[in-house]
Structure 1
Amino acid sequence: MATPASGPSVLTRRGVLTAAAGTLLLSACGRESERTTAVARPTPGHELVVGATLELTGRGAALGVAQRRALAISAEAVNVKGVAVGNLRRTVRLEVLDNRSDPRLAARQATELGQREDVHALLGGALAETSMSIIGAAQKLRLPFVSLAFGDSITVPLAQRTFVYKVTPEAGDVARRLAQLIDTQGLRRVVLLVEQGLHGDSGVRAMTGALRTTGVEVVRTVRLPRSTDGATRAAEQAVAARTGGVVVWATAPNSGAAARALRTAGFTGNLFFDAGAVAEETLEGGNALAVEGAYAVHPSSLGGSTMANGSATGRAYRDLVSQYIRRHGAYNGFAPYASDALLLITTAAQLAASVDRGRLRAYLQNQVTDGMAGMYSFTPIRHSGMERHSLGVYRVDAGAWNRLS
């Protein structure tokens, strides 16, 4: 595999794509040779160490636990053969810490991981607030960090986010799809019911602008409290506006609690969710009746398009779903962002032929990868890499997400 002689400072997007093509060819040749020779195994004593700070408890556990499960399954799959880094095959070792949904704890964990010479990259932060707290440590310690959170401010301003990347879709892309959907249904007035914090802030800006272009009026913007227990008052304010549609821009479990509170308050119109609502909790228990018929914009893996794909990514996704169901029960199709974050990091290591942090960062920012959740295209001036065409429109029918477009 060719490696630029002058280091990361002279990397070009074309060069990385060329290297990626070479990697695919080498992989194909490797599969051919494996038919007659033993399967390659990781080189003993050599690792690619990825730190992860996740919300395994606290208000972000609905997202964090699911990501830990997917991450563990994907790491096991990678380690069957290891990651080809230069002339070695490295084993992926995960260092997973519970940040308890506490931004201060997440920052301390990121610092501790970053100060270790054996940690090569970092992922995590399913909540925008925890991801934002990690950024300072990642930048100071020059540790590549792939965020799993929703919130556009995670990757901008770019000059202060040179080691930071994000796998979730942009708020603007989600908002445009939701605005088009609302417009086609003939609704002219809606309420925005958004959670407090950075994710909600992104939603307000994006939805206000997108709806303006379609001529739909935002009658009222109501903020959801951080606790699911306080959703009742916010829902009553939203219902009082008397519109036929409410956009709930919130991550699980707040999204499901908001839907339940809206129906209890007498709202009978259409509900629209952003991608942060898609988690097991949203469709379960007391939320089931409340969210029936609701719409969401989400990466296309939710509808099983990746499942039907005959590519390596499609096979990996099918294996992930199968293993997830076997170990943890029903799989409701949430996008495996942590699995894609790991894929981006391991691909960068392969292309760089190195686990050096600077080179990993350089190859992350010039990477085009077909992930399980969608297609990613990172550039030096764009670190939020999910392509907008990876998004689809879904509706909850009979307790399941069904793709409409």
Structure 2
Amino acid sequence: MTQYASKKNVCKLAVAAVLSCMAVSSQAEILIGSSVSSTGFASFLGEPEEQTLKILVEDINARGGVGVKGEKIRLISYDDASDANKARTFATRLVEDDEVVAIIGGSTTGATMAIMPVVEEAGVPFISLAGAIEITQPVRKHTFKTPHTDRMACAKIFEDMKKRDLHNVGLLSGSDSFGSSMRKQCLDIVDEYGINVVGDEIFGPTDADMTPQLTNLKNKDGIQTIMVMGLGSGPAIVTRNYSQLAIDLPLYQSHGVASDAFIELAGAKEAEGIRLPGTPLLVASLLAADDPQRPAVQAYKERYESKTGKPVSTFGGYAHDALYLIVDAIERAGSTDPAAIRDALEATKGLVGTTGIYTMTPEDHLGLDLTAFRMLEIRDGKWTIIE
């Protein structure tokens, strides 16, 4: 082989290498991780979250990807089976092995609290799908969330009680992390609304009958209303027991059961008249034509229901908003570097989601206020807006 031919071959190899690198670069993927409770006791939260993320990633990629470069998203998802320890394990795997640029997940408060130390140490932005106020207060540098806080739910419910001249309430809360946190927050602010707590009962995650607790509350002097705080089947059991005991008092539930599945599980007749704070997703067809959330809510509802054949849920909406917050942050940052995404998330302004309109700051990693909540009531087996 001549020296010229040798050099020519070297050049060809060099060009081929460059072209190969360019091809890899043009096909670069944005790795986003998720760890949600697709199975287990919190599957009613995690299943629609997982389905939502998969549907939206498919749609975003089909529309040309993210940003001017059209980078495609690859979702790396794990099912923590409603186990906080597994959630922490999967978060570690997503950070160390999968090298994702952001994580969405933590269907429950317990799972979220397990994930948080991992992402804070690794410096990877994390958007939680759980409700407890402790997730974002105090603010942690890399942790954000999309659902309203339990404290906000307490405030919305107490505002409605005050309007109805209901001043004596009995509390019934789950012993799980969500119920315990919300109970604490409600007790912390109830005096601000001139409302008295005349009874305070607890139910366990495996309790199949809440008749004793409800009987105790029913017999409290001066009681005017009962408020339930919990997730899963517990609040539905409470609702059925409430009807069986013929308790003639207004019943409030938390945003933790804001889905059609709750009505189905509790029974439409038994759930009649229940009020709770919820998101526009549950009343998409009732939103005013000029409601700024109407387009996002209806588009997601139609897409999810046509794809899955199931009713849309508030919980899937939390995942919807989390993914679009990350996509918006990447596009504004012009980078997929986790630090750049984090900074852009914290600077989010006016992003319209299904849950609310998000505006975040270094002091607020939720970015929603009480106006994002709608007070809803169940009438004839359907959700209605009462304000």
Q: Same fold (TM over 0.5)?
A: yes
Q: Which 5+ residue runs of structure 2 have no aligned equivalent?
A: 1-24
The answer to whether structure 1 residue 91 and structure 2 residue 91 are counterparts is no
Query: What's the CA shift for 1:128?
Result: 0.5
Q: Please give the residue correspondences for 1:195-344 in structure 2 after superposition, counting only pairs within 5 Å.
A: 195-229=174-208, 231-241=210-220, 243-304=223-284, 314-331=294-311, 333-334=313-314, 336-344=317-325
Alignment-derived partner of residue 359 in structure 1: 340
Q: Please give the residue correspondences for 1:383-398 in structure 2 after superposition, counting only pairs within 5 Å.
A: 383-398=365-380
Greater mean alpha carbon deviation, residues 277-286 or residues 362-371: 277-286
Query: What's the CA shift for 1:250?
Result: 1.4
Tell me, yes or no, if the aligned pair for 2:356 and 2:372 is still in contact at 8 Å.
yes
Task: Please state whether the residue corresponding to 1:229 is helix, strand or coil.
Answer: coil
Alignment-derived partner of residue 109 in structure 1: 90
Greater mean alpha carbon deviation, residues 232-241 or residues 356-365: 232-241
Query: What's the CA shift for 1:332?
Result: 5.3
Picking from 162, 166, 173, the partner of 1:194 is 173
Whole-Å separation in 1 of the counterparts to 2:193 and 2:118: 41
Alignment-derived partner of residue 124 in structure 1: 105
Greater mean alpha carbon deviation, residues 237-246 or residues 310-319: 310-319
Q: Cα distance 1:312–1:285, how it changes in 2: closer, same or farther (>3 A)? A: closer
Q: Which has the higher contact order (CA 8 A, sep 6+)?
A: 1
Picking from 131, 136, 148, the partner of 1:169 is 148
Query: What's the CA shift for 1:216?
Result: 1.7
Letter in 1 for 2:218: V
Whole-Å separation in 2 of the counterparts to 1:136 and 1:306: 41
Greater mean alpha carbon deviation, residues 45-54 or residues 252-261: 252-261
Alignment-derived partner of residue 63 in structure 2: 81
Q: Cα distance 1:373–1:309, how it changes in 2: closer, same or farther (>3 A)? A: farther
Alignment-derived partner of residue 21 in structure 2: none
The answer to whether structure 1 residue 348 and structure 2 residue 291 are counterparts is no
Query: What's the CA shift for 1:364?
Result: 0.8
Tell me, yes or no, if the aligned pair for 2:333 and 2:340 is still in contact at 8 Å.
yes
Q: Cα distance 1:102–1:231, how it changes in 2: closer, same or farther (>3 A)? A: farther
Query: What's the CA shift for 1:313?
Result: 6.3
Letter in 1 for 2:321: D
Task: Please state whether the residue corresponding to 1:304 is helix, strand or coil.
Answer: helix
Q: Cα distance 1:306–1:266, how it changes in 2: closer, same or farther (>3 A)? A: closer
The answer to whether structure 1 residue 45 and structure 2 residue 27 are counterparts is yes
* Count of matched residue pairs: 360
Task: Please state whether the residue corresponding to 1:88 is helix, strand or coil.
Answer: coil
Query: What's the CA shift for 1:316?
Result: 4.3
Q: Cα distance 1:259–1:63, how it changes in 2: closer, same or farther (>3 A)? A: same
Alignment-derived partner of residue 401 in structure 1: 383
Q: Which 5+ residue runs of structure 1 have no aligned equivalent?
A: 1-42
Alignment-derived partner of residue 40 in structure 2: 58
Query: What's the CA shift for 1:294?
Result: 0.4
Tell me, yes or no, if the aligned pair for 1:151 and 1:199 is still in contact at 8 Å.
yes
Whole-Å separation in 2 of the counterparts to 1:111 and 1:333: 29
Alignment-derived partner of residue 178 in structure 1: 157
Query: What's the CA shift for 1:71?
Result: 2.1
Larger Rg: 2
Tell me, yes or no, if the aligned pair for 1:257 and 1:287 is still in contact at 8 Å.
no
Whole-Å separation in 2 of the counterparts to 1:231 and 1:53: 32
Q: Cα distance 1:149–1:53, how it changes in 2: closer, same or farther (>3 A)? A: same
Give the share of equivalent positions with the same residue, in percent.
Answer: 23
Whole-Å separation in 2 of the counterparts to 1:200 and 1:322: 32
Whole-Å separation in 1 of the counterparts to 2:52 and 2:210: 30
Query: What's the CA shift for 1:55?
Result: 0.7
Q: Cα distance 1:261–1:110, how it changes in 2: closer, same or farther (>3 A)? A: same
Alignment-derived partner of residue 139 in structure 1: 120
1:122-141 CA-to-partner distances (Å, cap 9, x unmatched) read 01111100111000111111
Tell me, yes or no, if the aligned pair for 2:240 and 2:267 is still in contact at 8 Å.
yes
Tell me, yes or no, if the aligned pair for 1:244 and 1:270 is still in contact at 8 Å.
yes
Q: TM-score, normalised by structure 1?
A: 0.82
Greater mean alpha carbon deviation, residues 277-286 or residues 98-107: 277-286
